[in-house]
């Protein structure tokens, strides 16, 4: 008797599994037989970036990738930044989008007097406004340079900047000092407008 109850239960279970299988096949068959449209296609798509480019000038007229820099003379260690009004230069955005600017020193300065480069500062001000920014030569030589806070707009003439130099009173020991071969570079990274 116990075997017959187990056998009946097994048959009932087998029937239930069989019914589920038949239903699954029927649903699958219905899905397979559904009407389908033809494929629609957007052909020949392309993706193109905006353009970026910059050029520099010291007179606002002749722009190029590289221009001769400045000679900062008569710097007084511990004194005010010199020259008083700064020396002007222009950076022009030749691309189609505004740029975030970074300034760096890309050369190893000649330093026969062993001046502490962390105590010599280049001071930059955008003539269009914005803060006066002061960067040590050492910081401009490290970590890819320093960010300028005023972005360079696109489609305009050159942005005017002024540059000064200052030196801490304890930047060196001796009667005089000089630094040379200081190549200051400016790089722009596109920013969304």
- The predicted model scores a pTM of 0.75
Rounded to whole angstroms, the Cα distance separating 54 from 61 reads: 14
Q: How many CB atoms lie within 10 A of CB 185?
A: 14
pLDDT of residue 25: 55
pLDDT of residue 128: 82
Residue 19: exposed, middle, or buried by beta-carbon count in 10 A (0-12, 13-18, 19+)? exposed
pLDDT of residue 122: 97
Q: How many CB atoms lie within 10 A of CB 85?
A: 8
Phi-psi region of 114 (alpha: psi -120 to 50; beta: other; left: phi over 0): left
Rounded to whole angstroms, the Cα distance separating 84 from 165 reads: 10
Rounded to whole angstroms, the Cα distance separating 132 from 82 reads: 14
**pLDDT digit string (tens) for the chain, length 193 residues:** 555 555 455 566 556 656 566 555 555 555 556 888 889 999 999 998 888 889 999 998 889 999 999 999 999 999 999 999 999 999 999 998 999 999 999 999 999 999 999 999 999 999 888 899 999 999 999 988 999 998 999 876 788 999 999 999 999 999 999 999 999 999 999 998 6
């Amino acid at each position: 008797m116990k075997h017959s109850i187990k056998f009946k239960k097994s048959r009932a279970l087998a029937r239930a599994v069989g019914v589920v299988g038949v239903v699954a096949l029927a649903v699958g068959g219905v899905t397979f037989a559904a009407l389908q449209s033809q494929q629609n296609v957007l052909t020949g798509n392309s993706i193109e970036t905006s353009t970026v480019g910059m050029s520099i000038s010291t007179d606002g007229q002749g722009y190029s990738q590289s221009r001769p820099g400045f000679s900062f003379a008569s710097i007084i260690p511990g004194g005010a930044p010199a020259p008083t009004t700064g020396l002007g230069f222009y950076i022009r955005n030749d691309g189609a989008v505004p740029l975030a600017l970074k300034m760096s020193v890309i050369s190893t300065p000649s330093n026969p007097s062993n001046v502490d480069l962390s105590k010599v500062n280049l001071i930059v001000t955008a003539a269009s406004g914005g803060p006066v920014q002061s960067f040590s030569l050492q910081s401009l030589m490290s970590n890819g340079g320093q960010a300028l806070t005023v972005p360079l707009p696109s489609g305009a003439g050159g942005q005017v900047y002024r540059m000064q130099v200052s030196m801490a009173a304890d930047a060196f020991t001796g009667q005089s000092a000089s630094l040379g071969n200081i190549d200051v570079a400016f790089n722009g990274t596109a920013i969304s407008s």
